[in-house]
Amino acid sequence: MPLRNKKLEEITENDLISLINDKVSEGKTIDFKEELPSNKHSKKINFLSAVSSFANTAGGDIVFGMKEKESIATELIGITDIDPDEIIRAMEDSIRNCIEPKIIGIHIREIPLEKGGYAFLLRIPMSWSKPHVVNFEKHWRFYARGSKGRIVLDVAELRNLFLASESLIEKIRDFRSGRLGDILGDETPVPIERLEKIVIHALPFDAFEPEKKYELENVLVHRDTMYPRLEKWNSIKYNFDGILGFEIQNSGKINRYIQFYRTGCIEIVDSRPYFFGEFQNRKVFPYECFSQYLISYIQELQTYLSNLKISSPTLIFISLLNVRDYTLMRPSNTTYNDEELSFVKKQNLLFPEIILNDFDTKAEVILKNTLDMVWNACGYKKCWYYDDFGNWKGFQ
C-alpha cells in the first residue's frame, strides 16, 4: 500500500522498511532525506522548497532518516540524540515563517525505530490556497513537483495556478448563490414556513474536488459535536445529498434544519424566534439571543469540521433572508422612538465569506465583522459586545 494511503498515526517502522524492499523512488508524492533540516541557508532552502512543491502540486510525504541512491530508498538509518518534540516544533516554525501564504493541514510525526533513534514523516496536503512561495533571506521562489522531483515554476505555470485558485473560489460562491436561490424559492429539503431565515453555509475547499465525498457513517459518528445536537432533534434521515436533521414542533411546523452533504459541506437554515422576534409591534433581532446562537453555531461547526478531519480551508457564509424593516431589540429598560430607530433597508443581507484556516480561533473573533455589519444595517456604529479596540467584552 502506498505510504500516503495510510493514516499518519498508523504508519510504523515496517511501512518505512517496505519502501526499501519495494525499491520505491522519489517522485511526485514522496521525498527522502537522510538528515533533518538545519539553519544552514542552502539546507533550509532545500527543505522549504520541498514542502512548498508538494503543497503546490498534489501533496505528499517527506521521510527524514532515509538514505537514497539515485532517488531510490536504500536504508533507514534513523536520527539519534534529539528531542522529537523540539524537532517537530522547529520544522513547523520554519514552514510557518518562511512559506507564504500559510499551508493548512501539515502534520509531522516521529516514528521510533527498533535499533534506536527516530525517523520523521512530514505529510503535506495538496493546498487550496496555492501558489505558495518560499520567502527566506532574499530567496523568493515558487516550486512545484514533477515525476523527477521539485521544479521551479515559470510565469505560465504560475498563471495557471492563480487561475485555478480563483476558479475554485468562484465555484464555492456559485454554490452558495444557487442554494440561496433555492431557499428563497422554497426549494428546501423540508418546508420552512416562516419567510425570515438565517442561513449558514460551511463550505470546505476540498468539497469541490471532483469525486470528493465522506462516508455518511462518519457524519453520524460526529453528529454529537454539531449544534444543535442531532440526537435532540426529532427527525434524522438520509436523503440524496447526505443526511438531514430537522425539528418538528408540536404545531407540526418545522423551523430549522441542518443538511450534511456527503462532500463535507453543511447548510443550516433557522427561523426560530431566537433570531427573529417582535416587540412593541416591530420586527426585531433579539440582539443577545441572536449573537449567542450564532456564536454557538460557529463554535460547533469548528468542532465538527475538525473531527471530520477537514484539512483544507473552509469558507463560512452567513445570510439573513427577508429581513427588510427589521431593527435591533433594545434593552428592556429603554423605549422605542420611531425617529431614533433605523431599520434594515435591504430584503436580504448577504455577508462576505469568512475564511477558516484553522478550527481554533474563537468564534467571537471570527464573527466580529459579521456582527458589526448586522448592527450597521440597523443604524449602529458597531456591535455592542466589542470594545473600541475590537476585543470581545461578553454579554452584559
d(CA 206, CA 222): 19
Q: Is the pLDDT of residue 228 over 50?
A: no
| Other residues' Cβ atoms within 10 Å of the Cβ of residue 193 | 12
Q: Is the pLDDT of residue 2 over 80?
A: no
Q: Is the pLDDT of residue 97 over 70?
A: yes
Q: Which of 211 and 232 is assigned the larger pLDDT?
A: 211
d(CA 255, CA 198): 11
Q: What integer best gives the mean pLDDT of the chain?
A: 86
Name the band, by pLDDT with cuts 50, 70 and 90, for residue 339.
low
User: Crossing angle for the helix pair 84-98 and 41-55, nearest 10 degrees?
Assistant: 70
What letter represents residue 388's amino acid?
A: D
Q: Is the pLDDT of residue 386 over 60?
A: yes
Q: What are phi and psi of 205, to 5 degrees?
A: -55, -45
Strand pairing of 72-76 and 66-69? antiparallel
Q: Is the pLDDT of residue 119 over 90?
A: yes
- Give percent above pLDDT 70 in the chain: 90
d(CA 156, CA 378): 48
pLDDT (average), residues 137-164 = 82
**What pLDDT, on a 0 to 100 scale, did the predictor assign at position 224?**
56
Fold of 3-153: 3.30.950
Q: Is the pLDDT of residue 86 over 90?
A: yes
203-207, 285-289, 294-298, 338-342: which range is least confident on average? 338-342
Q: Which of 213 and 70 is assigned the larger pLDDT?
A: 70
Domain residue spans in the chain? Answer: 3-153, 168-377
**What pLDDT, on a 0 to 100 scale, did the predictor assign at position 316?**
94
**What pLDDT, on a 0 to 100 scale, did the predictor assign at position 211?**
66
Q: Is the pLDDT of residue 298 over 50?
A: yes
Alpha-helical regions (H) of the chain: 13-21, 41-55, 84-98, 155-184, 216-221, 287-307, 363-366, 368-377
Q: What is the DSSP letter of 392?
A: B
* Three-state SS at 206: helix
Q: Is the pLDDT of residue 244 over 70?
A: yes
- Give me the half-sphere count of Cα atoms (radius 13 Å) on the Cβ side of residue 80: 7
Q: Give all strands of the β-sheet with 133-136 in edge-to-edge order.
A: 99-100, 133-136, 139-146, 149-152
pTM listed for this prediction: 0.71
d(CA 106, CA 124): 5
Report which of 272, 275, 268, 269 is spatially closest to residue 290, judged by C-alpha positions. 275
Q: What is the DSSP letter of 239?
A: E
β-pair partners for 119: 111
Q: Is the pLDDT of residue 230 over 70?
A: no
d(CA 285, CA 267): 21
Q: Name the residue with cell 427527525.
A: 235
Q: Which of 226 and 295 is assigned the larger pLDDT?
A: 295
Q: Name the residue with cell 434544519.
A: 257
Furthest-apart CA pair in the chain: how many Å? 81
**What pLDDT, on a 0 to 100 scale, did the predictor assign at position 226?**
53
The string of pLDDT tens digits covering residues 20-66 is 999 999 988 999 999 999 888 889 999 999 999 999 988 899 999 99
* Three-state SS at 133: strand
- Give percent above pLDDT 90 in the chain: 47
CA distances from 15 to 1, 3, 32, 107, 232 (A): 9, 7, 14, 17, 43
Name the band, by pLDDT with cuts 50, 70 and 90, for residue 227.
very low
Report which of 107, 92, 17 is spatially closest to residue 47, judged by C-alpha positions. 92
Q: Name the residue with cell 465538527.
A: 304
d(CA 12, CA 24): 16
**What pLDDT, on a 0 to 100 scale, did the predictor assign at position 7?**
83
Q: Is the pLDDT of residue 330 over 80?
A: no
Q: Which of 222 and 248 is assigned the larger pLDDT?
A: 248
pLDDT (average), residues 113-137 = 90
Q: Is the pLDDT of residue 338 over 70?
A: no
